[in-house]
């Protein structure tokens, strides 16, 4: 499912214009992104949590030059679905 599919489905179910739904979805995604960039987590009860995780520094290999390189520590976005969300998805997949 793409963003356009989501916008079309919400617009069809609510009767709101696609342009208004698209701007709302865009603002939601921008708000989540901005919060994570600032180091704040986003919790959506019943859906899941968008958090920032810290990846430790590690050693990697440059295969073409056969050398080791140091990959610096970095922050990465992470999504953890809510237990009820996981339960619902598992129930639908089994059926």
Task: Enumerate the domain spans of the chain.
Answer: 3-94
Contact 54, 73 (CB under 8 A): yes
- 54: CB partners within 8 A, 6+ apart: 73, 74, 75, 76
* Separation CA 21–CA 65 (nearest Å): 50
Name the residue with higher pLDDT: 94 or 31.
Answer: 31
Q: What is the pTM of this model?
A: 0.77
* Separation CA 81–CA 51 (nearest Å): 11
Which tens digit of pLDDT belongs to each residue from 39-72? 999 999 999 999 999 999 999 999 999 999 999 9
Q: Is the model's pLDDT at 93 over the cut of 80?
A: no
Q: Of the CATH numbers 1.10.10.60, 3.30.365.10, 1.20.140.10, 4.10.520.10, which one belongs to the domain with range 3-94? A: 4.10.520.10
Contact 75, 55 (CB under 8 A): yes
Q: What is the pLDDT of residue 25?
A: 96
């Amino acid at each position: 499912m793409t963003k356009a599919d989501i916008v079309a489905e919400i617009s069809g179910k609510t009767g709101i214009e696609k342009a208004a739904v698209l701007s709302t979805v865009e603002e939601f995604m921008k708000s989540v992104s901005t919060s994570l960039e600032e180091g704040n987590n986003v919790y959506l009860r019943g859906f899941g949590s968008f958090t920032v995780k810290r990846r430790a520094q590690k050693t990697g290999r440059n295969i073409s030059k056969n050398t080791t390189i140091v990959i610096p520590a970095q922050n990465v976005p992470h999504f953890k679905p809510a237990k009820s969300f996981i339960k619902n998805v598992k129930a639908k997949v089994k059926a």
